[in-house]
Structure 1
Amino acid sequence: MKLDLQNIPRRKNLSKEEFLQEYFIPKKPVVIEDLTENWPAYQKWNFDYFREKAGDVVVPLYDGKPAKGRQNSHGPAMKVPFREYVDLLEKGPTDLRMFFFNMLQNCPELVEDFQYPDLGVKFFKKLPVLFVGGEGSKVVMHYDMDLANNFHFNFVGKKRVILYPPDQTGLLYKVPYSIVSMEIIDMDKPDFTKYPALAKARGFETILEHGDALYIPSHWWHWIKYEKASLSLTLRSLPKSPGKIAEVLNNLLFVRNYDNLMRKIRGQDWIDYKNRIAIKRTHKNAGIE
């Protein structure tokens, strides 16, 4: 038994009109292989370059351990200067990841190394962010709280990405009061005995290497494994519809705060309760006794 995954289409010389009509409007993912070839980042961005340009910037690092008990669900494992983190990455496998590193706030000169693509999409230009991870590190299956359309550009290393559309949510063991699947589930080697609904979910996958650009539509689930230590840039296009804006506000103002409050009050009992509900609901959706 294995996951039901199709390859994400890969395109070159994709026009703005083709992107809008074939992918953006119908909300389908695509890898654009040549979108970054004329960017300075395509040639310049490597770990030595970031060690030089952003080495003194102190960055929060997150590990792969699920939060337990009364721990806040968003707390970093440690904070170190960027150059020390690069040293860690180059020593070998590590589950330490850096995410949502705001380039405008921390190293604005790096913004000169890329351009916002002309794809007929309005980008939120105040939030170009970097994602960096060590070899073997993994990102739990989730969708983004702000429901952004993501354009994810990989420049260093190699990563595997699995995507599921929103209509597969009922089969993905979504945890209540969150935007994540159960953290204990390893999508790299899923336990179909414990989590049989995963075999019924229909998704997509790809491998991202140097220069690849992945479009992840709004509200799509994504899971990522850093096959090699990697550095990527994400540009975002925020939702405009009243319904999605209302959902974003609910995620930011209620869901996250309520979950952290309940963690503080009930500790591990709250986490265990949510996981039981996730399994019960998912198995009901999948028709599994």
Structure 2
Amino acid sequence: MRDLEAYVENCEGDLRYAPREFYEQLRDRVNLRALVDHAQAMLYRTTDIKGWIALHTVGSIVLAVTELGYSDALYQLDYALLVAGKAASEFERQLIEHLVEKLSSPENRLQYNWPETFPVPKLNSKELPCSMEQIDASRMDEIELMETMAVATKTPLVLRNMVSWWPALEKWTNPRYLAKGRLVPVEIGRNYTQHNWTQKVMILTEYIDEYVFKSNDPKGYVAQYDLFQSFLGSDFAVPDICHFSDNDPVINGWFGPEGTETPLHYDNCDNVFVQVVGYKYIRLYDPECNAYPDMALKNTSLVDVSRPLDHEYLSKFPQFPWEQYKEVVLGPGDALFIPKTWWHYVRSQTISISLSFWL
């Protein structure tokens, strides 16, 4: 308890933005559940949220340690990370990760009747479709890769076997290894352009059981989330080619069953997209093409490139370059460099886990 009291005292600097009476309530550990719930509610009632985020994060840690059972504590800690996002201090993130690791020990994990590996076929990378420049990155050293990237900064490039040495390529094929009870945001629906698309928070084990191993409709997709960096970061490393940029990469994970997709869109930064488990199809269009951007989602196209084409739909987007695209299927260990502003559409061909490194 002394360590806990010292932790709260050390967080006083972060909590100075919260009302004093709530800090005292936290320090004295009075009605912690109500305190955490109130802090969360205040995030949606005011624009000055710095103190409320700190109160919610620290309060969640104290609540988890002092009052909750392991499953509820795990949920509360992960939810605190979701709420705080980048606002959580490095110390708080590390502390939560340490506590979560303790709570996620094998004896505490829910047991499911899962196979030891995801049912994903193994294909020969030489036979995977590709209509753009590709190289075997496993045959190149870091200097050669950097020289290649210096030339290819504005052109998509496929790098086969770029991270074939990552432990993640083997470890992440095992659903039991991933089943650490972590909390994840799940996108429900075909993709975010659809009217019935929604999101919900789930425990990762429940997500795997309900959406990855079952053919549910609508599909569920863990998309654009830093989960894999937070508790599986030791299984991979930032690819060497990311060092051609002066920016630290923003790392996000993508995990879902066959058929999950991201609609045609572009990013305002370069992307090194790495396939870890399974196979993904990616189609790219030139940034200068008329992709009919959505008025609200300006980096997303109104064109659905995955639907069967008929005369009526073709006439709806007469200037779209339907046949002028590059495409590739990435397998485990492969990467694709996507320069900023290139339009791209992504669809999983199998159960799939990918990482993106935005530069």
**TM range, smaller chain:** 0.5 to 0.7
SS in 2 for 1:192: helix
Amino acid of the structure 1 residue aligned with 2:264? M
1:39-188 mapped onto 2 (5 Å cutoff): 39-46=166-173, 48-49=175-176, 51-53=178-180, 55-64=181-190, 66-68=193-195, 76-87=198-209, 88-92=211-215, 94=217, 95-103=219-227, 108-119=230-241, 120-122=243-245, 124-125=247-248, 127-144=250-267, 147-168=268-289, 170=290, 172-177=291-296, 178-182=298-302, 185-188=304-307
Cα deviations by residue, 1:163-204 (Å, 9 ceiling, x for unpaired): 112111x2x222224111116x24353442433433456221
Shift of 1:141: 0.5
CA spacing shift, 1:36–1:93, aligned 2, 3 Å: farther
> Which one is further off, 174-183 or 128-137?
174-183
Partner in structure 2 of residue 37 of structure 1: 164
Matched residue type, 1:179:
N
How far has the Cα of 1:108 moved from its partner? 2.3
Change over 3 Å in CA distance of 1:125–1:82 after alignment to 2: farther
Displacement of 1:80 after TM fit? 1.3
% identity of equivalent residues:
24
Match of 1:232 in 2: 354
Paired residues of 1:61 and 1:98 also in contact (CA < 8 A): yes
1:218 and 1:47 map into 2 onto residues whose CA distance is 33
Q: Is the 8 A contact 1:93 1:134 kept in 2?
A: no
Say whether residues 1:10 and 2:145 are aligned partners. no
- Rg larger in 1 or in 2? 2
Matching residue's letter, 2:273 = H
| Alpha-carbon offset, residue 231 of structure 1 | 0.8
Residues 1:123 and 1:150: Cα distance change in structure 2 (over 3 Å)? farther
Task: Quote the offset at 1:214 in angstroms.
Answer: 0.9
Once residues 349 and 165 of structure 2 are traced to their aligned partners in structure 1, the CA distance between those partners, rounded to angstroms, is: 26
Q: 2:229–2:252: 8 Å Cα contact kept in structure 1?
A: no
- Change in Cα spacing, 1:186 to 1:132, as seen in structure 2 (3 Å) is same
Tell me the matched-pair count. Answer: 218
Determine the C-alpha separation between the residues in 1 that align with 2:208 and 2:247: 28
Separation of aligned partners in 2, 1:188 and 1:47: 33
Listed one character per residue, the Cα deviations across residues 80-124 of structure 1 (whole Å, up to 9, x for unaligned) are: 111121122122365322211113xx7624111111222242375
Unaligned runs of 5+ in 2: 1-128
CA–CA distance in structure 1, aligned partners of residues 332 and 216 of structure 2: 19
Structure with the larger strand share: 1
TM-score by length of 1: 0.66
Query: What is the TM-score when the length of structure 2 is the normalising length?
Result: 0.54
Q: What is the identity, as a one-letter code, of the residue corresponding to 1:142?
A: H
CA distance in 2, matches of 1:176, 1:35: 37
Report what 1:194 is aligned to.
Answer: 316
Is the 8 Å Cα contact of residues 185 and 222 (structure 2) preserved in structure 1? yes
- Alpha-carbon offset, residue 216 of structure 1: 0.6
Residue number in structure 1 paired with 2:6 = none
Distance 2:229 2:176 in 1: 12
Specify whether residues 6 and 198 from structure 1 end up closer, same or farther in structure 2 by C-alpha distance, changes over 3 A only: farther
Residue 126 of structure 1: how far off its partner (Å)? 6.4
Question: C-alpha separation between the residues in 1 aligned to 2:278 and 2:151?
Answer: 28
Secondary structure at 2:170 match in 1: helix
Cα deviation per residue 1:244-283 (whole Å; 9 max; x = unaligned)? xxxxxxxxxxxxxxxxxxxxxxxxxxxxxxxxxxxxxxxx
Q: Counterpart of 2:85?
A: none
Counterpart AA for 1:220: W
Structure holding more helix per residue = 2
Aligned Cα root-mean-square deviation (Å): 2.7
Show structure 1 runs of 4+ deviating over 6 A: none
User: In 1, are the aligned partners of 2:254 and 2:354 still within 8 Å (CA)?
Assistant: yes
Measured in 1, the distance between the counterparts of 2:260 and 2:167 equals 27
Partners of 1:124 and 1:86 lie apart in 2 by 33
Counterpart check, 1:208 vs 2:322: no
Residue 11 and residue 235 in structure 1: after superposition, are their counterparts in 2 closer, same or farther (change >3 A)? same
Structure 1 gaps, min length 5: 238-289
